[in-house]
Amino acid sequence: MAELLVMGDAFAKGFWQVLAWPAFGYMLLGIAIGFWVGLLPGIGGLATLALMLPFSYTIKTPIEAFCFLLGMLAVTGTTGDLTSILFGIPGEGSSAALVLDGYPMSKKGEAGRALGAAITSSLVGALIGAFSLALSIPIMRPLVLLFGSPEMFIIAIMGVTFIGTLAGASLLKGLLAGGIGLMLAAIGVDPQTGSLRYTFGQLYLWDRLDIIPVVVGLFAIPEIVDLAVRGTSIAGSRPEKLSGVMEGVKDTFRHFWLVMRCSLIGVYFGVLPVLGANVAQWISYAHAVQGLKDKSRAGQGAVEGVLGPGAANNSTRGGDLIPTVAFGIPGSGSMALLLGALLIVGLNPGPEMLKTHLNVTFAMVWVLIFANIIVAGLCFLVLNHLAALTFIRGSLLIPFLVLLISVGSFTANNSFNDLVATLIFGVLGYFMVLYGWPRPPLILGLILGKIAENYLWISTAAYGAKWLLFPTVLILIALTVFTVAYPTIKERMGKAKYERPEDAI
């Protein structure tokens, strides 16, 4: 009973803290930025979060910082759906599946119906994702208290291996990128012995690499280069006045159980590090198409093909936050950056978030709810004018983005060395994209490296080597090894099955 009272008090406290000024103002500002970003393909929520992350330094309280950052991230999926439908150009990577049926609907004159369906299903998905996060807290809260420093160390390593195995097609590249991140985390003064590591005589590196220039360089600069290469305007022709929007809203409720199922698919894939919306949208699309009586409608403008990925896209946000907040294992690349924001504002994921900062966790739930309700209403208000907003040439955006990169990197520590670090990691990020190396494992290795090192020292000091034989530690190690080995095992089993004589006949 006492536990329920604590949860209820934190739930209510988070509600009022989000509505209080200036937190609510920061959320509105984040929503406005996320709204524009979602409409402009080539930037993306991840790159924008990297650009905005430095400004969280100047925000006074954690709740205000997350009202801004999470409010911005929460709406990019919804507005990214709009350009996928209007022009066949995904505003977000997680909106790509909507092109398959949304764009054909636009070409058939049903753009309004498709947009109405996408916006409404996205809102429903976001609400389900937010409530899933809220309902998971009573379960996660006692669970994380069972984990000590040995378990938290293995979980940190597990987070790097999970994202390494799931972030790209190459298992080796993913794991190596995570390993490079762990090596970068070792730069600086050893917190235990005071010795210098990999500083190369540079005073700047004594205090470890700052997360801001690394993130901005890796994620933002390659996107700007890509935008410069593509150039010209984003869309080629203007759509006519939209109609049939309310029909799309009705479609959401006609197929409400489909929307519910796809929303839960989104939550599930959000919880699994690090599949997220990019995978959930395609699974949901396949599920929606599988339920069609006439399969030939798939890809020809079936509204179900819009409702499924539209709902899953936004529900993953709530699912992403569950492992991020409870265990410090980001559910996606954007959650890896939010994990960095947690550390910037002085919070540690895990027991601390669910004990002493429970109100901050519930505030995140309310930010997801309020941000998506506001952006859905805004989309409906300006739906007929959205097409014109996507005709901004990339050449006009680049100077503004370069300015943001420079200001954001410099203000993190008021050091020109951060600008140099940003450029270095920008070049690294560009070549990683060019040669197909995943970037999230590197940034996650950098973030989790410090946490893993601290837990390793605490575990060794308290238990010696005995902690390696703890049952929970052995289970987590086995799970980590299985996660790394499973893709290879599955591939070999598939080849063996194909090579059997009866299969060859």
- What would the 3-class secondary structure string for 325-368 be? HHHCCCCCHHHHHHHHHHHHCCCCCCHHHHHCCHHHHHHHHHHH
Distance CA 400, CA 405 (A): 9
Classify 436 as helix, strand or coil: coil
Count Cβ neighbours within 10 Å for each residue of 472-488 and write b for 16 or more, e otherwise: ebeebeeebeebbeeee
Residue listed under structure tokens 């058939």: 108
> What tens-digit pLDDT sequence spans the chain (505 residues)?
666 677 777 778 888 888 888 888 888 888 888 887 766 655 566 667 777 777 777 777 888 888 888 888 777 777 777 777 776 666 565 666 777 777 777 767 777 788 888 888 888 888 888 888 888 777 766 666 666 778 778 877 776 676 555 455 566 787 788 888 888 888 887 777 777 787 777 777 777 787 778 877 887 788 678 767 766 544 444 555 556 678 888 888 888 888 888 888 888 777 765 455 666 777 777 778 777 777 677 667 788 888 888 888 878 877 777 777 777 777 666 777 777 777 777 777 776 677 777 778 888 888 888 888 888 888 888 776 665 544 556 677 678 777 767 776 776 567 788 888 888 988 998 898 888 887 767 877 787 787 788 888 888 888 888 888 888 888 888 887 886 776 667 667 766 655 555 554 4
Tokens 């924008």 correspond to 48
Indicate the DSSP class of residue 242. -
Residue 45 confidence (pLDDT): 66
Contact call for residues 322 and 271 (beta carbons, < 8 A): yes
Question: pLDDT value at position 390?
Answer: 44
Biggest CA pair distance of the chain: 72
Structure token pair of residue 137:
């807290």
Please calculate the CA angle 279-282-287 and round it to the nearest 5 degrees. 125
| Cis bond upstream, residue 365 (ω within 30) | no
- Rounded CA-CA distance 361/338 in Å is 13
Running DSSP on this structure, what letter comes out for residue 204?
Answer: G
278: left (phi over 0), alpha (psi -120 to 50) or beta: alpha
Within a 10 A sphere around the Cβ of 345, how many other Cβ atoms? 18
| All residues at 6 or more sequence positions from 315 whose CB lies less than 8 Å from its CB, including other chains | 125, 126, 128, 129, 132, 262, 263, 264, 265, 266, 267, 270, 280
Q: Which of 220, 233, 229, 218 lies closest to 43 in space, CA to CA?
A: 220
Q: What is the 3-state secondary structure (H, E, C) of 15-81?
A: HHHHHCCCHHHHHHHHHHHHHHHHHCCCCHHHHHHHHHHHHHHHCCCHHHHHHHHHHHHHHHHHHHH
SS3 content of the chain, % helix, strand, coil (to 5): 80, 0, 20
Predicted pLDDT of residue 345:
74
Check whether the bond before 22 is cis (ω within 30° of 0).
Answer: yes
Sign of CA dihedral 223, 228, 229, 235: positive
189 by DSSP, 3-state: which? strand
Which amino acid appears at position 256 of this protein?
F
List C-alpha distances in Å: 345 to 64, 211, 351, 414.
Answer: 10, 13, 16, 17
SS3 (DSSP) at 148: coil
The number of beta carbons lying within 10 Å of the beta carbon of residue 257 is 9
Q: Provide the residue type at 290 as one letter.
A: Q
Q: What would the two tokens of residue 226 be?
A: 């890509």
User: CA–CA separation, 404 vs 116, rounded Å?
Assistant: 33
Q: Which residues contact 139 (CB under 8 A, 6 or more apart)?
A: none
Q: Give the list of residues 6+ apart from residue 237 with CB closer than 8 angstroms, or none.
A: none
Whole-number Å distance between alpha carbons of 480 and 140: 20
